[in-house]
Chain A
Amino acid sequence: MIKVSALKFAYSREFELAVESLEIEEGEKVAIVGPSGSGKTTLLNLLAGILTPQSGVIQIGKTEVSGLSDAQRRLFRLQNLGLVFQEFELVEYLTTLDNILLPFRLHNAMRLDPSVKQRAIELTQRLEVSDKLHRLPARLSQGERQRVAICRALINTPKYLFTDEPTGNLDPINKMRVLDLLMDVVKSDRHTLVTVTHDHDLLKQFDRVIDFESFFRTTPPNPEIESAST
């Protein structure tokens, strides 16, 4: 279960995000929708421990993420969370297989043994990129890149999967295909999925949809502050 309470986060004085309370059940698929630039990615980064809140509590499973040190949060992320970014963010000089295995090369606590490689190959089969194992990202289509990014997010068998506009850069056909494949994996492996998106076409596949602007309190950029600072 993911629990957030009394969370506050601010970028200087220009943007503030406040979350009174948010609970996401185990295995639940939640979409957070809102317009671009509203702060959805910031919320996702806070949940994933990439950003640190000024105050409040974020609990994922039995771990209070907001109380962990930087190093502990990094390891927690590597071991328990799967992250899919909007721009795929594959490493251009690594092949599909090496991109998928990348999380296991980033921390000494992660052991890259043959079973991990086997899982990587299985994931590529499930996401239909197994024939592209030794290709570099530059030689993959947009849809294939995003599927490889999903494989990378799933390689550590995470309980919680956070995806940021997972279909934002895809054409309509690829968009539905990638989402279908993602949902298949999430359902069969019982991942808890939190997705932020501004694409309303995707919402019917989720258990719950949270409207960002009505649910969370944000302070958008203040023109007066901006003009005073310039």
Chain B
Amino acid sequence: MLDNLFLAWQYLTFYRARTTILVASLTLIVFLPAGLDVVVRTSAEQLQNRASTTPLVLGAKGSQLDLVLNALYFETDPPTPIELGESTRVNQTGYADSIPLHTRFHVDRWPLVGTTLDYFEFRNLKVVEGATISILGDCVVGATVAKAMKLKPGDYVGSKAEGFVNLAGTYPLEMRVTGILEATGTPDDRAVFIDLKTAWVIEGLGHGHQDVAEANDDELILDQDATNISVSPKIFQYNRITADNIQSFHFHGDESDFPISSLLILPPDGRSSDLLRGQYLGKDERVQVLVPQDHIDGLLDTVLKVRTFIIAGAFLVGLSTLLTFTLVIVLSLRLRQRELQTLAKIGCSRIRILSFVFCELSMVIGIALLLATCGVMGLQLLEDQAVRWLILTAA
């Protein structure tokens, strides 16, 4: 047996290019359908789990799927903003509580989610290192973000600037990391969480600046009366909230008009859920209440149909590759007839010659299966990414 393996290995390594092509083609025909199946299955499980634990989502009218995916995964384009007042409206119905989400901004490539402490309780998110958000400018980071950015409590992270050429745009705010969340295997691992008010500071609705009354610069004050004071844009605005300057931070306008991306709605039972949804069916309604599970099911139906077509296609391509593989082997055996005859003339039996060839094929198939298995296992390790690759990027 060892001699067979030795000769087979010598043959395969001598014809490296041919062996590589055969191994690569066999690997692909195994890996493509198996890998796709793993990605789809893992994604489906993740999406179903996330959706099933989120009873209702409220947001601006528009793409329902985008709204649901944004509220669950934070990573798709943010939906048209709604006002925080919608949260009060939901609470006033008495049918459910609501948790606001603000998902417009990012830290590096990670979504920056403005919310309330209720969100952590709702998703059962625990701080494993440090403490939770306590003041304006604090943030807690998901486990994946902490690992990727090598963050620990006490570090600072900056929100990503939006459009440097837009003078009216938002400016980066440096936020203090107060805690690291326990890994949950959900999109929460890949997010940075801040208080809703901190999100509004980044949005420019609240700010802190040097005390105008104490400034010794006459050019700072443009106009002043008993109730209002107009100051020059030259005034220094803080881009990091500290104990020294936190008192200077304030918001202009009515908080209930401030923007949020969506609301997670938590009715205590099905009846409350139905009654609440009924309240939002009016023709002139500017917002919509969605059941995430329904939309994820619809999405998965489509994905599963596409998967079936792709796997059928991969099967046909695989069949064609197998036929080509067989042809290559048959032609190769014909080309090797002289070599095989030499072995027979020296004293090798036909069965032994067949076993050489069998060993060669087994090695090629074995290596291909090993590579395909490694590929599929690699995909399983990246299950968190799988959903993003397959669903979120497509959506």
How many Å lie between the Cα of A75 and that of B7 in the bound state?
19
Given A93-B11, A93-B15, A105–B6 Cβ distance below 8 Å?
A: yes
Bound Cα distance from A107 to B351, whole angstroms: 11
Return chain B residues, CB-CB under 8 Å to A77. 346-347
| Residues of A with C-beta under 8 A to B348 | 74, 106-107
Whether A92 contacts B347 by the Cβ 8 Å rule is no
Whole-angstrom distance from the CB of B111 to the nearest CB of chain A? 56
Q: Is the CB of A102 within 8 A of B10?
A: no
Once bound together, how far apart are the Cα atoms of A91 and B338, in whole Å? 9
Residues of B within 8 A of A93 (CB): 10-11, 13-15
Closest to B347 in A: A78
A75–B338 alpha-carbon span in the complex (Å): 21
| Chain A interface residue number, banded | 20 to 34
Residues A112 and B3 in contact, CB atoms below 8 Å apart: yes
Residue contact B349 to A71, C-beta cutoff 8 Å: yes
B345 at interface (Cβ–Cβ under 8 A)? yes
A207 interface hit (Cβ, 8 Å): no
Total contacting residues, chain B, CB less than 8 A = 19
Question: A186 interface residue, CB < 8 Å from B?
Answer: no
Q: Does A107 lie within 8 Å of B14, measured CB to CB?
A: no
Contacts of B344 in A (CB 8 A): 50
Residues of B within 8 Å of A78, CB to CB, are 346-347
- Nearest residue (CB) in B for A70 is B349
The residue in chain B whose Cβ has the minimal distance to the Cβ of A78 is: B347
Interface membership of B339, Cβ < 8 A? yes
Closest to A82 in B: B346
B342 at the binding interface (Cβ < 8 Å): yes
Cross-chain contact A106 with B343 (CB below 8 angstroms): yes
Does A103 have its Cβ within 8 Å of any Cβ on chain B? yes
| Residues B10 and A94 in contact, CB atoms below 8 Å apart | yes
Q: Is the CB of A102 within 8 A of B346?
A: yes
CA distance A57 to B313 in the complex (A): 63
Q: How far is the CB of B327 from chain A (nearest CB, A)?
A: 21
Nearest CB of B to A126, in Å:
21
Question: In this assembly, does B352 line the interface, its C-beta being within 8 Å of a C-beta of chain A?
Answer: yes
Of all chain B residues, the one with the shortest Cβ separation from A75 is B347
- Inter-chain CA distance A74–B349, complex, in Å, is 7
Chain B 267-304 interface 0/1 with A at a Cβ cutoff of 8 Å (1 = within):
00000000000000000000000000000000000000
On chain B, the residues within 8 Å of A45 by CB distance are 345
A36-50: CB near B (< 8 Å → 1, else 0) gives 000000000100101
Q: Is there an interface contact between B346 and A106, defined as CB atoms closer than 8 Å?
A: yes
CB within 8 Å for A92 and B339 given contacts A105-B6, A107-B352, A112-B3: yes
Interface string of B313-350 (1 = CB under 8 A from A): 00000000000000000000000001100111111110
With a cutoff of 8 Å between Cβ atoms, the chain B residues found around residue A106 in the complex are: 3, 343, 346-348, 352
Contact across chains for A89 and B349 when beta carbons are under 8 A apart: no
**A window 52-101: CB within 8 A of B:** 70-71, 74-75, 77-78, 83, 85, 89, 91-94, 98
Q: Which residues of B contact A98 (CB under 8 A)?
A: 10
Nearest CB in chain A to that of B11: its residue: A93
Contact call A89/B342, Cβ cutoff below 8 A: yes
Within 8 A of A (CB), among B143-158: none
A91–B352 CA distance with the chains assembled, in angstroms: 16
Closest chain B residue to A87, Cβ basis: B338
Q: Chain B CB within 10 Å — which of A70, A74, A78, A85 has the most?
A: A74
Residues of A within 8 A of B14 (CB): 92-93, 136
B11 in contact with A103 (CB, 8 Å):
no
Structural contact, B347 and A74, CB atoms closer than 8 A? yes
Residue of B nearest to A153 (CB): B346
A85 touches B342 (CB 8 A): yes
**Most A Cβ at <10 Å: residue of B6, B11, B338, B346:** B346
CB distance from B351 to the nearest CB of A (A): 10
Complex-state Cα separation, A71 to B338, whole angstroms: 21
On chain B, the residues within 8 Å of A107 by CB distance are 347-349, 352
* Alpha-carbon distance between A103 and B343 when the two chains are bound, in angstroms: 8
CA distance A103 to B347 in the complex (A): 7
Q: How far is the CA of A85 from the CA of B338 in the complex (A)?
A: 12
> Interface 1/0s, chain A 156-187, versus B by CB < 8 A?
00000000000000000000000000000000
Q: Is the CB of B10 within 8 A of A83?
A: no
A45 to B11, CA, bound (A): 28
Taking a contact as CB atoms under 8 Å apart, the answer to whether B7 and A105 are in contact is yes
A50–B347 CA distance with the chains assembled, in angstroms = 8
Known: A92-B339, A93-B11. A105 touches B345 (CB 8 A): no
**List of A residues within 8 angstroms of B15 by Cβ:** 93
Which of A48, A75, A102, A112 gathers most chain B CB within 10 Å? A102
- Bound form: Cα–Cα A45–B342 in Å: 12
Binding site for B on A (CB under 8 A): 45, 48, 50, 70-71, 74-75, 77-78, 83, 85, 89, 91-94, 98, 102-103, 105-107, 112, 136, 152
17 contacts between A and B (CB under 8 A): A48-B345, A50-B344, A70-B349, A71-B349, A75-B347, A77-B346, A77-B347, A83-B345, A91-B343, A92-B339, A93-B10, A93-B14, A103-B347, A105-B6, A106-B343, A107-B348, A107-B349
- B residues contacting A by CB (< 8 A) are 3, 6-7, 10-11, 13-15, 338-339, 342-349, 352
Besides A74-B349, A94-B10, 6 more A-B contacts (Cβ < 8 Å) are A45-B345, A85-B342, A89-B342, A93-B14, A94-B7, A102-B343
Question: Which 9 residue pairs spanning A and B have beta carbons closest together?
Answer: A93-B14, A78-B347, A105-B3, A106-B348, A89-B342, A77-B347, A74-B347, A93-B11, A93-B10
